[in-house]
Amino acid sequence: MARRTLLGTKAGFSERTRVYLAGDAIEVDDIEGYSGTRRRVLLDEVRVVTLDRRRSAAFLWIVGLLTLVFFFSIVLNFSEEGRFAVIFAALFCVPLLAWFAFHAALGIDHVTVFGKRSNAVMAFALNKGKARRTFMLLRDRAMLAQDEARARLAAEAEQAVEAVEAPPSAP
C-alpha cells in the first residue's frame, strides 16, 4: 500500500471526513459513528479542483439572534442600574460578537476535487494558506497524472496504427 499523506479534513454534526493523497489517487475516509468507508478519486480521472470560501447563513443568523437575545434579556432584567446592565451585557456578548465577525469576515475555505465517480471535500477554517497550497498541489498532481495518461494512450494508439499499417511479410 502506498504511503498516504493527510491533506485535510471536514467535520459534520455526526461524521468526519479525512482526505489523503496516496500514490495515484486521493483517498477519502468517511467515518460515521463506529463505521467507516473508504473511496478513491483517481488523479487521472479528476474533472476539476476548486477552492472557494463559504459562509454559513444559518450560523450567522443563529449567532446574531443569540447575541441580541442575551443582550436584551440581561439589560431588561437589571432595572436599578441601567449602565451596569449594559456593561455586563456587552462583556457577556463580546465573545459571541467576535465569533460572528470572525466567521463573517474569514469564512471557511473548501477545496473540492470532483472525479468521474466520486468527489473529495476538505474544509480549512483557520489555515487559509494551507488551503491554497493543497489546492495547488492537487491541481498540479492531477495535471501531471493526466498528461502521463494522455502520453501513454498516444503511444498505445501509435503502436496500434503501426501494427495495422505494417505490410504482411511475404513467404
C-alpha cell belonging to residue 158:
501509435
Using an 8 Å Cβ cutoff, are 111 and 124 in contact? yes
Residue range 154-162: mean pLDDT, rounded = 84
Distance from C-alpha of 49 to C-alpha of 111, rounded to nearest angstrom: 7
Query: Does residue 28 sit in helix, strand or coil?
Result: strand
- For residue range 89-140, list pLDDT tens digits in order: 777 788 888 888 888 888 899 999 999 999 999 999 888 999 999 999 999 9
C-alpha cell belonging to residue 35:
463505521
Least confident of 45-59, 130-144, 153-167: 153-167
Q: Which backbone phi and psi does 108 adopt, to 5 degrees?
A: -125, 125
Q: What percent of the chain stands above pLDDT 90?
A: 43
Does position 35 have pLDDT exceeding 80, yes or no? yes
What is the structure's pLDDT at 168? 65
Distance from C-alpha of 37 to C-alpha of 17, rounded to nearest angstrom: 10
Distance from C-alpha of 58 to C-alpha of 38, rounded to nearest angstrom: 30
What is the structure's pLDDT at 122? 94
Q: Is 91 exposed, middle or buried (0-12, 13-18, 19+ CB in 10 A)?
A: exposed
Using an 8 Å Cβ cutoff, are 44 and 67 in contact? no
